[in-house]
Amino acid sequence: MVLLAASAVFYLGGGYDRWQDGRSLAGLCHGSLDTAEVDAFLGVDRLRGRDADAPEGLAACSAVNADRAGAGFLEVRVGRGPEAVGRALHALQRERPDIATSMAMPFGHGRRGVLDLQGRGGVLAVLAPDCVGGSGDLVVTVTGVPVKAGVEDPVQRARFARIAARAADGAARVWGCSPGSGPEVTDVPADSRYVKVPDGRAGGTCAGLSGTTGESPADPAAPVEDCFLFAGDDTPRFRLGAYYPPFAAVLPGVAGYRVTGPAGSRDGLAWATAACPGGATALYTVDTVDDGHRIAAPAPALEQDALRTFATRSARSHGCSAPQLP
């Protein structure tokens, strides 16, 4: 009788729910999630974990608000090969890079990845652990939307970056790739939305370009780099992008770019390529931006001159050859 009463107290007092929560989080994503960090990042009262029933790719898991569906979540997806790379590029909004003006920021800390602050208080990390020996391209995509302190808080962004780094390291170990070897993640860039830089002041991904620009820090480990050239001081006119493996080969199909040959221009797009260490090829693009009201008038000479400056700087920083240019 006493045992039954104790069990009722345990159940009605929420003990059973908390036990179920803890059980659901144990071993989540092969034990690669630091659930204490996830709990602190999401800021929810009860955290419930689940592995995807039929993930697209190698694995997927999520941690969600157990009290209120849809209010706060963190999701990890692990995949390999062109389809997984394509899904990561979609997450980075590269299916229409002429419209999206989100900025991919280098993940930093020696890791091959990028961060992107997105709408509705969310943050995205895409990491590509180093895989050798023909094991294929491993891509880890982590998405998070906290409930309380938003991702504008640098402490929150650093916390999210640590979660993403640990998830990528865990995936790398499970699937035979090299886990990250950089320093512990203690901070991240101040923002990952493009910020206008006055003429002559660019020193990151837009270094050397004239006019008002929007740039991120330049990092030789970043597999995606962005730079915006503005129309006057108002809106982005051109978007420049640098894509390194495993993203370079997949980007044209995702973005609908009809890229043929090592360099060229067509339909308002210009592109260049460079040979990189290990036989890899990098892709550099410049495209006009549709700001929702108009598409900037084509200016082939201006675009190709900007592409030359942008691609040459990026290729050099990544240890690649001088680009083949249109």
| Residues in Cβ contact with 87 at an 8 Å cutoff, skipping those fewer than 6 apart | 56, 57, 77, 79, 139, 141
Better-scored residue on pLDDT, 9 or 49:
49
In angstroms, the CA 315 to CA 310 distance is: 9
Question: What's the mean pLDDT when you consider all of the chain?
Answer: 81
User: Coil, strand or helix: which one is 148?
Assistant: coil
Give residue 285's pLDDT.
97
Which H helix or E strand runs over 64? strand 59-65
User: Coil, strand or helix: which one is 254?
Assistant: helix
Tens of pLDDT along 252-262?
999 999 999 99
Give residue 182's pLDDT.
63
Give residue 295's pLDDT.
65
HEC states along 98-112?
CCCCECCEECCCCCC
Place of tokens 């689940």: 50
Give residue 18's pLDDT.
40
How sure is the predictor about 157, in pLDDT bands with cuts at 50, 70 and 90?
Answer: confident
Residue 250 C-alpha from the chain's centroid: 15
Q: How many helices (H) and strands (E) does the chain have?
A: 8, 14
Highest mean pLDDT among 7-11, 99-103, 310-314: 310-314
Q: Is the pLDDT of residue 17 over 60?
A: no
Domain spans of the chain, in order of start:
30-190, 194-326
In this structure, are residues 206 and 212 in contact, taking their beta carbons and an 8 Å threshold?
Answer: no
Which H helix or E strand runs over 6? helix 2-12
Q: 269, 284, 292: which is closest to 316 by C-alpha?
A: 284
In angstroms, the CA 87 to CA 137 distance is: 13
In terms of Cβ atoms closer than 10 Å to its own Cβ (0-12, 13-18, 19+), residue 95 is middle
| 30-190 CATH | 3.40.1000
DSSP character at residue 321? P
